[in-house]
Structure 1
């Protein structure tokens, strides 16, 4: 009996310990600001904008001064949410079918959700909006987003701007009131306020469309800037958006503190790309302001992390080479969630805790081909401590040559060889490019209707703003996978459903695999309906509008594909 009693006590102790560990798991707030330069903070030398709350966070948290991200939106988000280089997921542009996160990638939200976290995203996604790529299929429970990479892009709700925009909330469109950054932070705070009452921890990802163009003036911060004597210029809207971001970061941090959540919340704030040193007193390269994408002004972003248990002991600047791929492993380690064994990033926890255990020999690869076709060494930097190997041809020592003006590739063959070997190993490890094209899945039970848009054409043109809809010129193809045999309805549109305007064409055609059908339509029709019997398989999908009088043809910019039944029509 005594041994049974001891066993019961031991079991209780183990159970209590497990519960304590689970109870200690931190909440996570991850804020990603779109297209804000490293130098568009007052602490980093901007001469006009004032960002006191972000400046204060940088001082109280750990602030990474040598932190790097891919130079465009979708690749940067891929690195952030997978801990892997974006090329591994087939992401190397922001349009053209190569901005879609491959279905086989595991996201940070997937892992946290599996570990018992409540997960949410507010704002920008830009990694695919159809099944199985949209955030509701990638581990996020609460989804409040706009479409595309910026408001008013082809994928976004028609007519959106940063003011009073329409968002997608868990699959339904809803109208907002106010400026985008205000709306998103308010939504996030409401979400956190609700979730903190529950036992499970939360992961809240706030990904602002600000300060990506098109820019709109924020009324309050614009007034503040003008009262300070700021010139009324084309940059005033941008400045007002940056200061509004700062206000909202401060509002969220104040909320975490007043609600008692600060001590057990991991807070990360970063921008997503370098924006070519915009806002710097002087571009780091001086006269070479239009260089390629392999230089630090395209990659260096601000990043600051606060987790009081660790960072209160060692706040301030950290100068080690770090990057966007490190965010996911950092969060997973601090949240006590097992990391996948295929990550390119490494956890920043040692640096948050003072530096012991950090691998300072790490090499970091940043590459964004900025095209549909990935090319070896195109727009590439291999970074190692003070060294930068650009496109495999130029070498710079940024400690002695911050602007990367003096190519010393001939002086250091050993460094060049080592960094080249690192890149070659990475390049050779990539899956074949054709395997990384992400097809849109039609007829899946999880999404019996999908909306395709021309931003995702993987062959042909690549329209990306809603201004393209007024032109009857663009044509392209989607890669699609028909999930099951049956009849499918194709609804072809020039303008989206929320903007019912005339197609101005006489015929409409769907061409998928070896199946093709053309129908006559009225020039004032808003849509063309075509039903097809399809077999399961992967195909190219092409649509065509023709206007006989003007002898022009173009593709349907929007296509809704609905699965009807399993019986073939006769």
Structure 2
């Protein structure tokens, strides 16, 4: 090494030039906000998730999209999922348009090693390697095979033994080792605890012994297995000397699913509902020695990940892209020593379940929609009423059945009238979800000014976003695709534990 270069290298620590942090972003699939022991769950232990929460800045008023592909699109793009063309979890409306810029693309250009492990669910054209990831590993058969799966790592097939999620975490550690001394960003997306449900028997047995049925026991076992693997990952970071230089972020991608009737943190509604439980997520951000662990109550969202990670890594956001981002930089909150009450206090978030049959978007402006500001959630949980739409299997058909008295529906076995409740037709309802997470005390008549203001904001948002969503393919496809997807899902006959 030339002497001037060696001198500069040795001078870096004296000048206080900080090493850029590594970042691991863990996104769990179909785990609810309440599926953590520290959030009051009566059966889960989750010691490692509890510890991560205790050592993190925990955003307790954090929201995502109502289902998994939309959340992933919004998180990676920093824009509402409608503007990326992702409005569903089935083709073609799960496809992230290749023109959308994802923040890993910018990190890669800034010298970061970028790794993706697990569930992508945004289509294969271009897929993760075309959206900024230079190291990719996932399993064939997606969520349908849990044990002894075939993985594809950087286009090479690898036969594995054991449980799929264990391998996901093994692959994450392999990527980190290969990154060497380079700064890295790893996006680790589990399939657990998404259906179909299966887990190692040793994780299922304690919940079955506690009196839970097989569905609930296996669902919670999948959550507990994630926690076990989180513990392995955190130990790996410490043992390899990376702990203090690595930010660990953990978020769930939508509301609770098969654990709904066990515990939902006192909230109404699961995944794919307009109610509070459909979009509230845990959000833990850990950087030891840098951020003071505490709970923050500011209204935050998955949209904030893009600008925050770019700031953390010193990554410049292109000038033409910056105005399109809808999220806010969380650094002022992460660096603060206490609460920051005035941070983006006027912020408004827009939610839409969006599971209309393809070709019927125009009828769903006010079907299954929500507007959020501060502690208030204004929503409509109702089908569109269009007789042609209601012929197809979709969320509208389901809500019509709820309206007619159905008591059993997805995830709700006898509780559908509560968790999938129908709100009054052609009318917003309003709730203070911090005082009333069950959404039982409608404040719309008491706060007409707030309702009018949020209604105006929502109408403008829809009218501005709708043309872009249509142009990006958000209403494309076969309207009967939902029925075909449901039939495929119901035909699964795989192993539910390693004892079979």
TM-score using structure 1 length: 0.69
Tell whether the 8 Å contact from 2:75 to 2:303 is kept in structure 1 after alignment: yes
CA deviation profile, 1:471-516 (whole Å, cap 9, x unmatched):
9xxxxxxxxxxxxxxxxxxxxxxxxxxxxxxxxxxxxxxxxxxxxx
Q: Secondary structure at the match of 2:61?
A: strand
| Corresponding position of 1:49 | 44
Q: Secondary structure at the match of 2:204?
A: helix
| Corresponding position of 1:205 | 187
| Corresponding position of 1:74 | 69
CA distance in 1 between counterparts of 2:147 and 2:271 reads 34
Structure 1 residue 335 and structure 2 residue 313: aligned?
A: yes
- How far has the Cα of 1:468 moved from its partner? 7.5
CA distance in 2 between counterparts of 1:293 and 1:469 reads 21
Tell whether the 8 Å contact from 1:125 to 1:146 is kept in structure 2 after alignment: no
- How far has the Cα of 1:194 moved from its partner? 2.1
CA distance in 1 between counterparts of 2:161 and 2:109 reads 34
CA distance in 1 between counterparts of 2:134 and 2:14 reads 24
Tell whether the 8 Å contact from 2:85 to 2:470 is kept in structure 1 after alignment: no
Tell whether the 8 Å contact from 1:61 to 1:315 is kept in structure 2 after alignment: yes
Tell whether the 8 Å contact from 2:256 to 2:271 is kept in structure 1 after alignment: no
| Corresponding position of 1:255 | 236
Which protein has the bigger helix share? 2
Which protein has the bigger strand share? 1
Q: 1:402 aligns with which of 415, 434, 437?
A: 437
CA distance in 1 between counterparts of 2:272 and 2:120 reads 26
CA deviation profile, 1:393-427 (whole Å, cap 9, x unmatched):
11112233221112222222221222223323322
Q: Secondary structure at the match of 2:90?
A: coil
Tell whether the 8 Å contact from 2:269 to 2:278 is kept in structure 1 after alignment: no
| Corresponding position of 1:128 | 123
Indicate how the Cα distance of structure 1 residues 147 and 464 shifts in structure 2: closer, same or farther if over 3 A, else same.
farther
Indicate how the Cα distance of structure 1 residues 21 and 122 shifts in structure 2: closer, same or farther if over 3 A, else same.
farther
Q: Secondary structure at the match of 2:214?
A: coil
**49-58 vs 339-348, which moves further:** 339-348
Q: 2:21 aligns with which of 7, 15, 26?
A: 26
Indicate how the Cα distance of structure 1 residues 219 and 469 shifts in structure 2: closer, same or farther if over 3 A, else same.
closer
CA distance in 1 between counterparts of 2:25 and 2:316 reads 19
Tell whether the 8 Å contact from 1:367 to 1:381 is kept in structure 2 after alignment: yes
CA deviation profile, 1:118-141 (whole Å, cap 9, x unmatched):
111111000001x33x11111111
Q: Secondary structure at the match of 1:37?
A: coil
| Corresponding position of 1:493 | none
Structure 1 residue 61 and structure 2 residue 56: aligned?
A: yes
Q: 1:265 aligns with which of 246, 252, 261?
A: 246
Gaps of 5+ in 2: 381-426, 493-500
Q: Secondary structure at the match of 1:167?
A: strand
CA distance in 2 between counterparts of 1:458 and 1:29 reads 37
Indicate how the Cα distance of structure 1 residues 108 and 18 shifts in structure 2: closer, same or farther if over 3 A, else same.
farther
CA distance in 1 between counterparts of 2:72 and 2:470 reads 22
Indicate how the Cα distance of structure 1 residues 28 and 408 shifts in structure 2: closer, same or farther if over 3 A, else same.
same
CA distance in 2 between counterparts of 1:379 and 1:99 reads 19
Structure-to-structure mapping, 1:286-325, within 5 angstroms: 293-311=273-291, 314-325=292-303
CA distance in 1 between counterparts of 2:284 and 2:448 reads 35
Indicate how the Cα distance of structure 1 residues 203 and 289 shifts in structure 2: closer, same or farther if over 3 A, else same.
closer
CA distance in 2 between counterparts of 1:58 and 1:82 reads 26
CA distance in 2 between counterparts of 1:21 and 1:98 reads 48
Structure 1 residue 393 and structure 2 residue 439: aligned?
A: no
| Corresponding position of 1:461 | 481
Q: 1:350 aligns with which of 328, 332, 335?
A: 332
CA deviation profile, 1:201-220 (whole Å, cap 9, x unmatched):
11111100111011112133
Question: May I ask how many residue pairs the two structures share in their alignment?
Answer: 427
CA deviation profile, 1:29-73 (whole Å, cap 9, x unmatched):
000110001111111121112101000111111112111111111
CA distance in 2 between counterparts of 1:99 and 1:376 reads 20
Q: 2:199 aligns with which of 217, 222, 231?
A: 217
Q: 1:377 aligns with which of 357, 366, 369?
A: 366
| Corresponding position of 1:436 | 472
